[in-house]
Structure 1
Amino acid sequence: MAHPLFFLHGGPGAGSSPLYRRYFNPAKYRIIVFDQRGCGKSTPYGACENNTTHDLISDIKLILSKLSIEKINIYGGSWGSTLALLFAETYPQLVHSLVLRGIFLCRKKDIQWFYQKGANSIYPDYWKEFISGLDTNEQKNILHSFYHKIHSGDMDSSRKYCRQWSIWEGRSSTLKPSSTVVDAFDDCSISLAKIETHFFYNDCFIEENQIIKNIDSIKNIPCHIVHGRYDIVCPFDQAYDLHAAYGTSVIHEIRDAGHSLLEEGIQKNFRNLS
């Protein structure tokens, strides 16, 4: 019998892709991929109402119940790693193993690094385009400014800032420039920007440092951590902190990669772990 494998996509709001299934042998795994609320084929598209971390955890539990699955192996990257860890800490009895990529711990400093001060010094040219249209006062809290512009009700303005938000992330996601990755972020810009700003504005609906605080509840679950050494979106310290707190995890440092799953070194490691 094939082992149940649950793949959690990133964002939040990025949606799933047929590509995700190709990393796993269908003869070995029962592969389950779904679009989280408000993105991909889930409706209503881009919706933030009734869309919280708790709702997504409940959705995973419901899917497992509907499919009569008692225990799962979870693969998750970026926000998918966040959701995987939070689900495991909520329902450790339902999780057989974790394979996590591009760790995102959702701490205030992690969000500030990418959207206020940190990543801007790595890509100052991309940053300038990202914050285009924000006045000096709005630049004091970029996340809050984007949140209000994207959720303003002005459709033209919202689309503009959704694209700026998403393209910034796409450009920063690979060690070497990749138009393929940037285009993928542009394609899902509405759902990605709306849902990410909704979650990040609300601290992802979790307590500060919640994942690390509750890590003792999952230390008996086998865990592999895959992280690009030159990840600008979610710097390596997040993987390092998780590994140090977990104690029993195995960390795989990919020295020729940034954040994206599409980078060769990360893809190869991901396949080896499947």
Structure 2
Amino acid sequence: MDSAPNFGLYPPIQPHTTAMLDVGNGHSVYYEVSGNPLGIPVVFVHGGPGAGSVATQRQYFNPEKYCIVLFDQRGAGRSIPYASISHNTTDHLVEDMEMLRGHLNIDQWLVAGGSWGATLALAYGTRHPKSCLGFILRGIFLGTQNEVDWFLGGMGTFFPEHFAAFSDQVGGRTGTDLFETYCERLFSPEPNIHLPAARAWARYESLCSTLLPQARSGGVFQSSPAFNHYALTLARIEAHYFKHNMFLREGELLARVNAIAHLPAIIVQGRYDVVCPIKTAHALHLAWPNSELAVVPDAGHSGMEPGIARALVQAADTMAVNLA
């Protein structure tokens, strides 16, 4: 859950529009618009899947230059139904974005996002390239099986104590057994079964996301309605996507990058990102000649680490000049 001091971010702003968009299949997606209504349109795609958008994500963008659109993907954040995995696939989310663009009467927009948000941004862009002005991507995840396997076990190479707690929640299981047991619990309708599993999953991901130990105490993970809400949408929807190979063909996004190769992209990547290692960002950069890879030497994965936040603001400022 992103909340941090101001690391070069623009000052906090409030949206001038908040609403729900009926996208079908019983889902309504929350969206908001802030900044300059006549500015460069930018849509920020949150991570997870299932994490939801947060107010600080508005602050990457100069509110005088940008018309800033945030939205919560199906089942996440303020979208309803809460934590739903029904009719919730990458194809659905891509078309929800395109429906939102049309609903807002935006011809083209800059697409920004980090982690799973970068995955969905690429899936959207390669299917709707004419809707895009360019991309700002952070902490690259391409949805391959190797990346999913890394999350479910490999991160423990660097954070063995956090992986141990993650595994202990399901009786010390590892590999396929660990994942299948988490799925059984996360998809259970019983809160006394799904909430402990969700909280352990969300703790594991959060604690592995920063280069240095988080300054916040473990109190952020204490039982509270806000954390429980966040943890269940993140863990349940993330597990649902992992279970179905992110609803992508293996290697699909790199194979389709030519569709957007003519568009500008700035890729921001923490050198010591353990959740989404830099190898993947480098591969995307090599496949995309019109991209710039901005490596932050003192950062991990989180979009609210100081160096990452500053690099994202700089990327947005650069894009504002280039697209003006």
TM, length-normalised to structure 1: 0.95
Is 1:101 aligned to 2:138, yes or no? yes
Paired residue for 1:160, among 196, 202, 206? 196
Q: For the Cα contact (< 8 Å) 1:167–1:186, is it kept in 2?
A: no
SS for the counterpart of 2:53 is: coil
Matches within 5 A, 1:140-179: 140-141=175-176, 142-178=178-214
Deviation per CA, 1:48-103, whole angstroms, max 9, x where unpaired? 00111111111100111111111000110111100100100000011011000000
Structure 2 equivalent of residue 69 of structure 1: 106
Paired residue for 1:213, among 239, 255, 260? 255
SS for the counterpart of 1:36 is: coil
Is 1:120 aligned to 2:156, yes or no? yes
Q: For the Cα contact (< 8 Å) 2:152–2:175, is it kept in 1?
A: no
What's the CA shift for 1:208? Answer: 0.5
Distance in 2 (alpha carbons) for counterparts of 1:119 and 1:270:
24
Distance in 1 (alpha carbons) for counterparts of 2:297 and 2:163:
25
Structure 2 equivalent of residue 263 of structure 1: 305
Distance in 2 (alpha carbons) for counterparts of 1:12 and 1:244:
26
Unaligned runs of at least 5 residues, structure 2 = 1-37, 317-324
Deviation per CA, 1:107-133, whole angstroms, max 9, x where unpaired? 0000101102x2111111111101114
Structure 1 runs (4+) deviating above 2 angstroms are 133-136, 142-145, 152-155, 179-187
Distance in 1 (alpha carbons) for counterparts of 2:315 and 2:175:
42
Paired residue for 1:233, among 250, 275, 278? 275
Distance in 1 (alpha carbons) for counterparts of 2:186 and 2:45:
25
Number of matched residues? 272
Matches within 5 A, 1:43-82: 43-82=80-119
Distance in 1 (alpha carbons) for counterparts of 2:289 and 2:147:
21
Normalized per residue, the structure richer in helix is 1
Structure 1 equivalent of residue 174 of structure 2: 139
Which deviates more, 65-74 or 143-152?
A: 143-152
What's the CA shift for 1:180? Answer: 4.4
Which deviates more, 184-193 or 38-47?
A: 184-193
Cα RMSD (Å): 1.6
Sequence identity percentage: 35
